[in-house]
């Protein structure tokens, strides 16, 4: 029986790898244009760090190593936690704001489905040091710019945004402060479960019938930017909720309104969020979120650093790829070498290899190592995506020449071997 890959993981043969590489390269280019610098961290972190402020659901999804020695180790489930840990270590050495991004794999043990894997890659963008709405807006605008770079517009994607202070301030009045974290976790998955399941989970959390009714209505508050005024006028907000609504309003003043939908069911289940929270979806709502993020002002201090405001977001490579494919907007990619060297027989093999070595100083080049007939070499060159084939024959060599054929047009030309380096 042949071995198979682990469930919930993906292989990337050349064509698929080239596509994913093209997507990731474009995302990194956008992050750099906004002044963010790339960093990296280990795939493993201490279990204590990963569970410090992640929420119960994440704790159940961690891949934890069998304990060896005194430390408990697990695979990272996101990049915000390790990048915050790195920031704490470097905090006193670097000027603020600190603008970092990383693009790397991470792992969560959950049921695999389309656009949701157990091993997955994300672009994670983190901004440390600014408490102002322009920091949140810059992250949101970068996320939208990343999607725009693939040709996605407000007709294709929607930014659903809320504020944790606003949400928690309202929930405190409805259900009391002690239940907030659990209720937020339930609200976060409200779109993924039935109305009855939502009600049952709130009942298990100790909510009364009256509270459940109010919470259900709260999650239905959705609309454009005008919803902010509606919330301000119709809901009795405490000071925490008013602060959150003002943060939301000031941030959205700096964001393209065509993308925006206020949605009080957006909660982001991770327990470290403290302010604006948002997710970006395809307009048709067919798939899970493409991107998500928010403000986490307490995480640096929780990890042992000096109190530092922070905000950021992540874009999932797999869900982004699925949406791009659905909309016919995947980037064009090309695999295979620029040249394939085809010796007509074994007597010119040495010269063919020498020509390949010259070309490799300037461009990509492959050469036959199977001693196949010329027709088979042409088939192979086409199959690997070579752009041109260089035919090395005995008579051509006597004249100091080779024949180059463009595989897309079929046009041939003779080129002197002495000038091959100038191709």
Phi/psi at 261 (nearest 5 deg)? -135, 120
pLDDT in tens, 152-166: 999 999 999 999 999
For residue 191, pLDDT over 90 is answered with no
What pLDDT is attached to residue 32? Answer: 99
Beta strands in 44-114 (DSSP E): 44-46, 73-75, 98-107
Residue 55 pLDDT grade (very low, low, confident, very high; cuts 50, 70, 90) = low
Residues carrying CATH 3.40.50.800, the chain: 339-422
What pLDDT is attached to residue 151? Answer: 98
For residue 238, pLDDT over 70 is answered with yes
Average pLDDT (288-301) is 96
Residue reference for tokens 């000096």:
306
What pLDDT is attached to residue 56? Answer: 67
CATH of domain 14-326: 3.30.930.10
Report residue 114 CA to chain centroid gap. Answer: 15
Sign of the torsion angle spanned by Cα atoms 243, 164, 274, 311: negative
Sign of the torsion angle spanned by Cα atoms 288, 292, 296, 301: positive
Q: HEC string of 307-324?
A: CCCEEEEEEEHHHHHHHH
What pLDDT is attached to residue 288? Answer: 87
Residues carrying CATH 3.30.930.10, the chain: 14-326
Mean pLDDT for the chain overall:
94
What pLDDT is attached to residue 179? Answer: 82
What are the tokens at 329? Answer: 């907007």
DSSP letter, residue 178? G
Give the whole-angstrom CA distance, residue 167 versus residue 180: 9
What pLDDT is attached to residue 205? Answer: 87
State the pairing for strand pair 388-392/339-343: parallel
Burial 41-68 (b: 16+ CB within 10 A, else e): eeeebebebbbbbbbeebeeebbeeeee
For residue 422, pLDDT over 90 is answered with no
For residue 405, pLDDT over 80 is answered with yes
Question: Domain 339-422 maps to which CATH number in 3.40.50.800, 3.40.30.10, 3.40.50.720, 1.10.287.130?
Answer: 3.40.50.800
What pLDDT is attached to residue 189? Answer: 86
pLDDT in tens, 322-345: 999 999 999 999 999 999 999 999
For residue 231, pLDDT over 90 is answered with yes
Q: Tell me what percent of the residues of the chain surpass a pLDDT of 90.
A: 80
pLDDT in tens, 241-252: 999 999 999 999
For residue 421, pLDDT over 90 is answered with no
* Bridge partner residues of 281 (DSSP): 158
Give the whole-angstrom CA distance, residue 297 versus residue 299: 6
Q: Which residues contact 340 (CB under 8 A, 6 or more apart)?
A: 365, 366, 367, 368, 377, 380, 381, 384, 386, 388, 389, 390
pLDDT in tens, 374-402: 999 999 999 999 999 999 999 999 999 99
């Amino acid at each position: 029986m042949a071995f198979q890959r682990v469930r919930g993981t993906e292989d990337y043969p050349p064509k698929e790898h080239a596509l994913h590489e093209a997507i990731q390269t474009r995302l990194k280019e956008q992050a750099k244009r906004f002044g963010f610098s790339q960093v990296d961290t280990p795939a493993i972190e201490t279990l204590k760090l990963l569970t410090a402020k992640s929420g119960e659901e994440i704790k159940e999804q961690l891949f934890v190593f069998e304990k060896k020695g005194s430390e408990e180790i697990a695979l990272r489930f996101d990049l915000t936690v390790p990048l915050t840990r790195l920031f704490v270590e470097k905090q006193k050495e670097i000027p603020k704001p600190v603008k970092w991004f990383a693009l790397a794999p991470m792992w969560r043990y959950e049921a695999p489905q389309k656009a949701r894997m157990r091993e997955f890659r994300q672009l994670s963008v983190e901004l440390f040091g600014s408490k102002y709405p322009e920091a949140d807006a810059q992250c949101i605008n970068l996320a939208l710019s990343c999607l725009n770079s693939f040709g996605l517009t407000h007709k294709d994607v929607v930014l659903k945004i809320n504020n944790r202070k606003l949400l928690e301030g309202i929930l405190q009045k409805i259900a009391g402060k002690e239940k907030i974290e659990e209720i937020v976790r339930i609200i976060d998955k409200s779109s993924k479960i039935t109305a009855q399941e939502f009600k049952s989970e709130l009942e298990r959390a100790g909510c009364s019938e009256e509270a459940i009714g109010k919470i259900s209505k709260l999650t239905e508050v959705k609309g454009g930017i005008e919803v902010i005024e509606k919330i301000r006028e119709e809901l009795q907000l405490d000071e925490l909720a008013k602060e959150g609504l003002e943060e939301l309003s000031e941030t959205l003043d700096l964001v393209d309104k065509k993308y925006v939908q206020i949605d009080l069911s957006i909660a982001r289940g991770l327990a470290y969020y403290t302010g604006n929270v948002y997710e970006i979806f395809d307009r048709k709502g067919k798939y899970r979120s493409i991107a998500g993020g928010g403000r986490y002002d307490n995480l640096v201090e929780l990890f042992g650093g000096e109190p530092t405001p922070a905000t950021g977001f992540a874009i999932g490579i797999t869900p982004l790829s699925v949406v791009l494919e659905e909309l016919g907007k995947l980037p064009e990619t090309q695999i295979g070498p620029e040249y394939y060297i085809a010796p007509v027989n074994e007597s010119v093999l040495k010269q063919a290899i020498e020509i390949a070595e010259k070309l490799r100083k300037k461009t990509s080049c492959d050469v036959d190592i199977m001693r196949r007939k010329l027709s088979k070499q042409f088939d192979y060159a086409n199959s690997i995506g070579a752009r041109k084939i260089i035919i090395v024959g005995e008579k051509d060599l006597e004249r100091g020449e080779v024949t180059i054929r463009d595989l897309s047009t079929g046009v041939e030309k003779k080129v002197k071997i002495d000038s091959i380096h100038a191709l």
